[in-house]
C-alpha cells in the first residue's frame, strides 16, 4: 500500500468500518459515509425487518440511480429540492415519532 494513504474510520448503522484513502479524499468519504448512514437509518426506521446487507444494497442503488438521473439531466432542480424536502420530512417524522402521512405544502 502507498505510504501516502491514511486509514479513515467511519460508523454506519452502529458498526465501525476502516477505509484506506488518500488525504485529499478524507472529507468527501466522510460526507459519503454520513449520507449513507442517514439513508440506512431512515430505511431501518421504515422497514425494521430488513437486514443491514439488504439496506446497504438498496441505499447504494438509490444513490447511484439519483446520480445517474442528475448526470443525464432527468432530475431537475425542483425535483431534487422536492426529494430533499421529502427526506427531511421523513427524518422529522421519525424524530418526533409522528406516524401520520406528511401533508404537502400545497394543501
Question: Model pTM?
Answer: 0.57
- Chain centroid to CA 40: 6
Q: Please report the domains of the chain, with CATH numbers, ordered by start residue.
A: 6-75 (3.30.160.880)
Cell of 103: 401533508
Number of Cβ within a 10 Å radius of residue 55: 20
pLDDT classification of 43: cutoffs 50, 70, 90: confident
Rounded CA-CA distance 56/40 in Å is: 7
Cell of 87: 427526506
pLDDT classification of 10: cutoffs 50, 70, 90: very high
N-terminal to C-terminal alpha carbon distance within the chain? 57
Tell me the average pLDDT across 61-85. 78
pLDDT classification of 2: cutoffs 50, 70, 90: very low
Cell of 101: 402521512
pLDDT classification of 107: cutoffs 50, 70, 90: very low
Amino acid at each position: 500500500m502507498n505510504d501516502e494513504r491514511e486509514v479513515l474510520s467511519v460508523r454506519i448503522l452502529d458498526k465501525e468500518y476502516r477505509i484506506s484513502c488518500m488525504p485529499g479524499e478524507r472529507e468527501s468519504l466522510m460526507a459519503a459515509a454520513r449520507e449513507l448512514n442517514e439513508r440506512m437509518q431512515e430505511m431501518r426506521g421504515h422497514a425494521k425487518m430488513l437486514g443491514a446487507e439488504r439496506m446497504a444494497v438498496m441505499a447504494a442503488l438509490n444513490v447511484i440511480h439519483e446520480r445517474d438521473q442528475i448526470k443525464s439531466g432527468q432530475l431537475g432542480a425542483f425535483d431534487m429540492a422536492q426529494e430533499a424536502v421529502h427526506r427531511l420530512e421523513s427524518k422529522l417524522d421519525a424524530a418526533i415519532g409522528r406516524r401520520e402521512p406528511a401533508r404537502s405544502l400545497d394543501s
